[in-house]
Structure 1
Amino acid sequence: MNALMRRAVIGTAAVSMALSMAACGSAGGDKKADSPTSAAATGGSTAAPTSGDIGLLLPENSSSIRYESFDKPYFTAKVAALCPDCHVKYNNAQGDAATQKQQFDALISQGVKVIVLDPQDATGTQSWVEAAKAKGVQVIAYDRFAAGPVAGYVSYDNEKVGELQGQALVDALGDKAKDANVVMINGAETDPNAADFKKGAHTVLDSKVKKIVYEQSGEWDPKTAGQKMGAAITKLHKDGFQAVYSANDGMAAAIITALKNAGIKNVPVGGQDAASDAIQRILTGDQAYTIFKAYKPEAEAAAEMAVDLLQGKDVSSVAKSTSDSDTAKGVPSVILGAQVVTKDNVKETVIDSGLYKVSDICTGAYAKACAAAGIQ
Structure 2
Amino acid sequence: MKVTRRIALTLGAAALLATGCSGTGASGGSGITVGLAVSTLNNPFFVELQQGAQEMANQLGAKLTVVDAQNDATNQVNQVQTLVTQGVKAIILNPVDSKQAAPAAKAAEMANIPLISVDRAVEGGKVAAEVASNNVSGGSLAAIELGRATSGEVAHLKGISGASASRDRGQGFEQGLNSGNIKVVATAVADFDRAKALNETTNLLQGHPNIKGIFAENDEMALGAIKALGARAGKDVMVVGFDGTPDGLKAIQDGTLVATIAQQPKLLGSKAVEQAVKAAKGEPVQQVVDVEVKVITKQNVAEFIK
Same fold (TM over 0.5): yes
Once the 2 structures are TM-superposed, how far is the Cα of residue 13 of structure 1 from its aligned partner? 8.0
**Aligned partner of 2:184 among 206, 212, 226:** 212
Is 1:233–2:219 an aligned residue pair? no
Tell me, in whole angstroms, the C-alpha distance in 2 between the residues paired with 1:94 and 1:307: 25
Q: Structure 1, residues 114-137: CA drift from partner, whole Å, max 9, x if none?
A: 100001111101122123211212
Once the 2 structures are TM-superposed, how far is the Cα of residue 265 of structure 1 from its aligned partner? 4.5
**Aligned partner of 2:273 among 277, 299, 303:** 303
User: Who is 1:367 aligned against?
Assistant: none
The one-letter amino acid paired with 1:312 is G
Tell me, in whole angstroms, the C-alpha distance in 2 between the residues paired with 1:345 and 1:18: 30
**Aligned partner of 1:123 among 99, 115, 129:** 99
Q: 1:66-81 alignment to 2 at 5 Å?
A: 66-68=45-47, 70-81=48-59
The one-letter amino acid paired with 2:56 is K
Are the structure 2 counterparts of residues 23 and 150 from structure 1 closer, same or farther at C-alpha, using a change threshold of 3 Å?
A: closer
The one-letter amino acid paired with 1:65 is P
User: Who is 1:267 aligned against?
Assistant: 237
Once the 2 structures are TM-superposed, how far is the Cα of residue 208 of structure 1 from its aligned partner? 2.3
Tell me, in whole angstroms, the C-alpha distance in 2 between the residues paired with 1:164 and 1:210: 14
Work out whether residues 23 and 275 of structure 2, in 8 Å CA contact, stay in contact via their aligned partners in 1: no
Is 1:188–2:188 an aligned residue pair? no
Work out whether residues 69 and 76 of structure 2, in 8 Å CA contact, stay in contact via their aligned partners in 1: yes
The one-letter amino acid paired with 2:159 is G
Give the TM-score of the pair, scaled to structure 2.
Answer: 0.90
Tell me, in whole angstroms, the C-alpha distance in 1 between the residues paired with 2:301 and 2:264: 14
The one-letter amino acid paired with 1:224 is K
Question: Secondary structure, in 3 states, of the residue corresponding to 2:99?
Answer: helix
User: Who is 1:7 aligned against?
Assistant: 6
Tell me, in whole angstroms, the C-alpha distance in 2 between the residues paired with 1:208 and 1:153: 33
For the aligned residue pairs, the C-alpha RMSD in angstroms reads 2.3
Tell me, in whole angstroms, the C-alpha distance in 1 between the residues paired with 2:14 and 2:205: 41
User: Who is 2:296 aligned against?
Assistant: 341
Q: Structure 1, residues 180-236: CA drift from partner, whole Å, max 9, x if none?
A: 111111111110111110111111114522421101221112222222211211112
Work out whether residues 71 and 295 of structure 1, in 8 Å CA contact, stay in contact via their aligned partners in 2: yes
Question: Secondary structure, in 3 states, of the residue corresponding to 1:7?
Answer: helix
Question: Secondary structure, in 3 states, of the residue corresponding to 1:88?
Answer: strand
Q: Structure 1, residues 261-319: CA drift from partner, whole Å, max 9, x if none?
A: 8899521101111111211111111111112212333222211110111111111xxx2
**Aligned partner of 1:18 among 22, 30, 35:** 22
Tell me, in whole angstroms, the C-alpha distance in 1 between the residues paired with 2:278 and 2:233: 54
Question: Secondary structure, in 3 states, of the residue corresponding to 2:273?
Answer: helix
User: Who is 1:35 aligned against?
Assistant: none
The one-letter amino acid paired with 1:110 is Q
Are the structure 2 counterparts of residues 124 and 72 from structure 1 closer, same or farther at C-alpha, using a change threshold of 3 Å?
A: same
Question: Secondary structure, in 3 states, of the residue corresponding to 1:337?
Answer: coil
**Aligned partner of 1:89 among 45, 65, 70:** 65
Unaligned runs of 5+ in 1: 25-48, 320-331, 357-376
Length, aligned pairs only: 298
Tell me, in whole angstroms, the C-alpha distance in 1 between the residues paired with 2:77 and 2:116: 15
Is 1:103–2:58 an aligned residue pair? no
Tell me, in whole angstroms, the C-alpha distance in 1 between the residues paired with 2:23 and 2:87: 28
Work out whether residues 182 and 209 of structure 1, in 8 Å CA contact, stay in contact via their aligned partners in 2: no
Tell me, in whole angstroms, the C-alpha distance in 1 between the residues paired with 2:231 and 2:267: 39
Tell me, in whole angstroms, the C-alpha distance in 2 between the residues paired with 1:207 and 1:79: 42
Runs of 4 or more off by more than 6 Å in structure 1?
12-15, 261-264
Tell me, in whole angstroms, the C-alpha distance in 2 between the residues paired with 1:282 and 1:190: 29
User: Who is 2:44 aligned against?
Assistant: 65
Tell me, in whole angstroms, the C-alpha distance in 1 between the residues paired with 2:215 and 2:132: 22
Work out whether residues 73 and 101 of structure 2, in 8 Å CA contact, stay in contact via their aligned partners in 1: no
Once the 2 structures are TM-superposed, how far is the Cα of residue 61 of structure 1 from its aligned partner? 2.8
Give the TM-score of the pair, scaled to structure 1.
Answer: 0.74
Is 1:198–2:170 an aligned residue pair? yes
Tell me, in whole angstroms, the C-alpha distance in 2 between the residues paired with 1:142 and 1:263: 32
Unaligned runs of 5+ in 2: none
Structure number with larger C-alpha Rg:
1
Q: Structure 1, residues 315-349: CA drift from partner, whole Å, max 9, x if none?
A: 1xxx2xxxxxxxxxxxx11112211111110123x
Tell me, in whole angstroms, the C-alpha distance in 2 between the residues paired with 1:265 and 1:259: 10
**Aligned partner of 1:152 among 123, 129, 134:** 129
Are the structure 2 counterparts of residues 8 and 80 from structure 1 closer, same or farther at C-alpha, using a change threshold of 3 Å?
A: farther
